[in-house]
């Protein structure tokens, strides 16, 4: 799924409950993360729940990540973040306005401060791997 399609899907949903359910559903689409990566080395610091983000370092020009969380809604947020960044060049990472995209989806205003911090931590970790 592309980010434009995600934005359109969220725009079709009228209330937060529907968006919340869709977000949880997106999280179920994440590929399973092998337990060997669920360690402190891959843990995203700054998230209230357990979140792991693992880069594929085989391609020096483009980003690719897999990840997991122990919280359903955070898995959905991760699905969106990975949709935004996977396949992007390292140079283009700086130009992705994550908060604008989440605002278009109607999610920005509904994220609790702790989820917003977790989202920012995930994006920060991705930018770290991109050399930003």
The residues carrying an active-site annotation are 47
What are the start-end ranges of the E strands in the chain?
A: 51-55, 65-69
Those residues whose C-beta lies under 8 Å from the C-beta of residue 40, and which sit 6 or more positions away, are none
Largest interatomic CA distance in the chain: 41
Q: How far apart are CA 16 and CA 87, in angstroms?
A: 30
In sequence order, the 6+-apart residues with CB closer than 8 A to the CB of 70 are: 49, 50
CB-count exposure of residue 39 (10 Å: 0-12, 13-18, 19+):
exposed
């Amino acid at each position: 799924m592309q980010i434009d399609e995600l934005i359109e899907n969220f725009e079709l949903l009228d209330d937060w409950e529907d968006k919340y359910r869709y977000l949880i559903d997106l999280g179920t689409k994440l590929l399973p993360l092998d337990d060997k990566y669920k360690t402190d080395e891959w843990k995203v610091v700054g998230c209230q729940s357990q979140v792991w983000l693992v880069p594929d370092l085989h391609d020096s020009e483009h980003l690719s990540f897999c990840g997991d969380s122990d919280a359903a809604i955070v898995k959905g947020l991760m699905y969106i973040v990975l949709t935004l960044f996977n396949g992007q060049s390292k140079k283009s990472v700086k130009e992705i306005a994550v908060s604008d995209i989440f605002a278009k989806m109607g999610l920005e205003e509904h994220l609790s401060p702790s989820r917003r911090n977790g989202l920012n931590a995930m994006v920060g970790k991705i930018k770290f791997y991109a050399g930003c």
